[in-house]
Amino acid sequence: MTIKRIFWTSTIVVLSVAAYVAVGVSKGLEKALSEDPLVWASDIEAFLEKGVGEPGSLVFVGSSSIRFWDDLAEDMAPVPVINRGFGGSKIGDVVHYADALFKANNPHAVIIFVGTNDMTPELTKSVDTMSSRFVAMMNAVRKQHPDAPVYYIAITPSPLRWAIWNEAKAVNQAIQVLISQMPDVHFIDTSEALMSGGEPDPDNYVFDKLHLSAKGYDIWAEIVRSRIFGDLGLP
């Protein structure tokens, strides 16, 4: 094969891969921007096929930051985990699929991170809307697990959505007030740890300036694990 042919073959392969990735990103963005929870039906079906997990697990539910937490099992060892993170999900999506998402066998705790995709330049929701949806989500959790400890990881800052951070902080504050009135529901705020000089530290995020990098996940793991394991007396 000539050098010229190798070059063009390689170019076609690279362009094909790029096009495939672009289509995937486009579809993912379309789902994240949708207000129709039915766009996540296949994701939820996949969770159901995996079953309810081991008894005494830590159940993690939420958006892509949970989904992409590749070292979650290692970070929470020796306690088993169930990862039910899905794409660009929003609080309304979690409420819609609550029966499936929170299904578990006597979990040690339920940990939730969702809300960042409700607070974007395209879809920013009011504090009242976010508060009412949060209450609906907590009611759905308690329907299945009336006595399990619940931890809510607050909306995090990111370079991509820094322009609306004040609005996101207002939602965090409202949710924290709600949580203070809910038995055995706890608020975990990781925002300050992810920032440097009053702004999101770029080293804590990957190229898209939204999702956490390995360093960012290390910060999350340290804060989340120490809080939950300390509260529950886990090894």
The model's pLDDT over 47-99, given as tens digits with 9 standing for 90+, comes to: 999 999 999 999 999 999 999 999 999 999 999 999 999 989 999 999 999 99
The percent of residues in the chain predicted with pLDDT above 70, rounded, is 85
Q: Across the chain, what does the average pLDDT equal?
A: 88
Q: What is the pLDDT of residue 36?
A: 85
- The predicted pLDDT at position 10 comes to 38
Structure tokens at 135: 């209450």
- A 10 A CB-CB count for 109 gives 22
The string of pLDDT tens digits covering residues 12-36 is 333 333 333 333 444 444 555 566 8
Instruction: Give CA–CA dist 73/81, Å, rounded.
Output: 6
* DSSP β-ladder status, 58-62 and 109-113: parallel
Tell me what pLDDT residue 30 has.
54
As a whole number, mean pLDDT of residues 161-179 equals: 97
Based on its alpha-carbon atoms, the radius of gyration of the chain, rounded to whole angstroms, reads 19
CATH match of 36-232 with 3.40.50.1110: yes
Per-residue exposure over 70-103, b if at least 16 CB sit within 10 Å of its own CB, e if not:
eebeebbeebbbbbbbbbbbbbbbbbbbbeebbb
- Evaluate whether 219 touches 185 at the Cβ level (below 8 Å): no
The percent of the chain in helix, strand and coil, each rounded to the nearest 5, is 55, 10, 35
Phi/psi for 117 (5° steps) reads -80, -5
List the domain boundaries for the chain. 1-33, 36-232
- Look up the pTM and report it: 0.86
Per-residue pLDDT band for 122 (boundaries 50, 70, 90) equals confident
Q: Is the pLDDT of residue 186 over 90?
A: yes
Predicted confidence at residue 158, as pLDDT, reads: 97
- The pLDDT value recorded for residue 2 is 47
Regarding predicted confidence, which is higher, 123 or 93?
A: 93
H helices of 34-163, where? 41-50, 64-67, 72-76, 91-96, 98-101, 127-144
**122 or 222: which leads in pLDDT:** 222
User: Residue 11 corresponds to which amino acid?
Assistant: T
Run of H or E residues at 216: helix 214-232
